[in-house]
Chain A
Amino acid sequence: QVQLVQPGSEVKKPGASVKASCKASGYTFTSYFMHWVRQAPGQGLEWMGIINPSSGRTTYAQRFQGRVTMTRDTSTSTVYMELSSLRSEDTAIYYCARGWGGFDLWGRGTLVTVSS
């Protein structure tokens, strides 16, 4: 079954880091780019960055540069997104999504709550 599996939720304190995971299955992991997209409560979608699972090369949206790191583990077909120096405004659902011309496969998202 072609799918992206993400953990349901995480709770972090302000100033901490979160490392969200996204495990791919049912297709060739290295053949598709992976993106991270977040959605704050009641808000729209925001693109965070892209990783090439084959080479590991990344590009991050300007507003997250210096605070986000995307990596992959080809042995487990998993991509990771680490966001540091968390603040309350980072409370959101973090989705991984596969694709280049249209994101055709999405995970269910991980709700990251930043609260003291």
Chain B
Amino acid sequence: SSELTQDPAVSVALGQTVRITCQGDNLRKYYASWYQQKPGQAPVLVFHGTSNRPSGIPDRFSGSSSGNTASLTITGAQAEDEADYYCDSRDSSDESRDGSGNYWVFGGGTKLTVL
């Protein structure tokens, strides 16, 4: 199975731009999704792929992908963006859409500190 690698910790000054990255071989084939998790709460999807921002997520969150690396960019980071961020992606697949033969994997997470 594949692995997704994230930097354990990243910091950003209030109002500045920060990019959180996720590396893995399966990202050459499948898009990454990004989740924000605050202490004591369930994860929240903040972006999928390169163009899918769920309703209610601020437009300062954006995603991109190149080769084996996916990135989540926060443009103008706010204090409330301080959280853990996880990427995930499909791992291997037999391309079946009935759910069978499809595997997912999460990155180890990045703790974002807003200074």
Residues in A lying within 8 Å of B, measured CB to CB: 33, 35, 37, 44-47, 50-52, 55, 57-59, 61-62, 95, 97, 99, 101-104, 106-109
Instruction: Indicate whether A50 sits within 8 Å of B104 (C-beta atoms), given known contacts A101-B31, A107-B42.
Output: yes
Top 4 nearest A-B pairs (CB, nearest first) are A102-B48, A52-B99, A102-B33, A106-B42
Check A47 against B48 for contact (C-beta < 8 Å).
Answer: no
Residues 82-108 of B at the A interface (beta carbon under 8 Å): 86, 88, 98-108
> How many interface residues does B have (CB within 8 Å)?
28
Chain A residues lying within 8 Å of B107, measured Cβ to Cβ, are 44
Instruction: Kindly provide the distance from the CB of A30 to the nearest chain B CB, expressed in whole angstroms.
Output: 12
Instruction: Indicate whether A106 sits within 8 Å of B33 (C-beta atoms), given known contacts A33-B99, A47-B104, A50-B99.
Output: no
- Which of A99, A102, A109 is packed against the most chain B CB atoms within 10 Å? A102
Please measure, in the bound complex, the distance between the C-alpha atom of A108 and the C-alpha atom of B37, giving whole angstroms. 12
Check A44 against B86 for contact (C-beta < 8 Å).
Answer: yes
Please measure, in the bound complex, the distance between the C-alpha atom of A23 and the C-alpha atom of B107, giving whole angstroms. 27
The reply to whether the CB of B61 lies closer than 8 angstroms to some CB of chain A is no
Chain B residues lying within 8 Å of A55, measured Cβ to Cβ, are 98-99
The reply to whether the CB of B114 lies closer than 8 angstroms to some CB of chain A is no
Chain B residues lying within 8 Å of A44, measured Cβ to Cβ, are 86, 106-109
Instruction: Kindly provide the distance from the CB of B100 to the nearest chain A CB, expressed in whole angstroms.
Output: 5
Please measure, in the bound complex, the distance between the C-alpha atom of A48 and the C-alpha atom of B54, giving whole angstroms. 24
Instruction: Indicate whether A103 sits within 8 Å of B45 (C-beta atoms), given known contacts A45-B109, A47-B105.
Output: yes
The reply to whether the CB of B76 lies closer than 8 angstroms to some CB of chain A is no
Chain B residues lying within 8 Å of A106, measured Cβ to Cβ, are 42-44
Checking A37, A59, A103, A108 against B103 with a beta-carbon cut-off of 8 angstroms, the contacting residue is A59
Please measure, in the bound complex, the distance between the C-alpha atom of A30 and the C-alpha atom of B43, giving whole angstroms. 23
Checking A59, A62, A103 against B99 with a beta-carbon cut-off of 8 angstroms, the contacting residue is A59
